[in-house]
Chains A and B, each alone.
Chain A
Amino acid sequence: EDQVTQSPEALRLQEGESSSLNCSYTVSGLRGLFWYRQDPGKGPEFLFTLYSAGEEKEKERLKATLTKKESFLHITAPKPEDSATYLCAVHTGTASKLTFGTGTRLQVTL
């Protein structure tokens, strides 16, 4: 059974304090790993898709990386508006189903 584990569960940063979120996975045949951002009471917002180990993608203050066992979401010099829950999901098999981790709740304070 595919498993996705995210850590830490919650993270509190000061504005400008860079850090990384972790997503470790145990799957058979990874076809893609996704990062989403979810604000309270809203649906997840797509951030990145990573397909193979060694791949990296960046968007503003966020950078996602992928190895054979885990993915990291690096946040550089975060701002309060980066506060949200960050979700990691994996796509395996032939169907387009996603298996989600439980998320990391990020709070960035002034």
Chain B
Amino acid sequence: GAVVSQHPSWVICKSGTSVKIECRSLDFQATTMFWYRQFPKQSLMLMATSNEGSKATYEQGVEKDKFLINHASLTLSTLTVTSAHPEDSSFYICSETSGNYGADTQYFGPGTRLTVL
């Protein structure tokens, strides 16, 4: 399957600072990437859908001004958590799929553990 990398794998920051997480597709051009967050012992919750060259589509309840997503190329999407607070501490995971429609398989990155002090 597809290979997805994330950087950093973990980050600790102070409250009020911004953190950028990168998601890279290493072996094919991903037209669509997804960002999820996962709290301990809970399942994945979709935050937003990122399409190359266009604005991201955010899920209900996700603040677009707080979680900035940029998908500038077919191999890179970034998630910036702005003015992070302790409640933003979570496991953030990206995924990619090669198509926009149909039951395309999503391949996930290894995740980024964010801890906000």
Contacts and interface: CB of A to CB of B under 8 A. Distances in A.
A34 B110 contact: no
Contacts of B42: 102
B32 interface: yes
B93 A34 contact: no
Interface string A77-110: 0000000000100010011111111110000000
Contacts of A49: 103, 105
A12 B1 CA distance: 29
A108 to B, nearest CB: 19
B43 A43 contact: no
Contacts of B45: 100
Given A45-B108, A95-B49, A100 B103 contact: no
Contacts of B97: 96
Interface residues of A, number: 24
Nearest to B46: A97
A41 B113 contact: yes
B103 A44 contact: no
Contacts of B111: 41-43
- Which are the 6 A-B pairs with shortest beta-carbon distances? A32-B103, A43-B108, A31-B103, A100-B43, A102-B43, A43-B111
Interface of B: 1, 4, 6, 32, 34, 42-46, 49, 91, 93, 95, 97, 99-111, 113
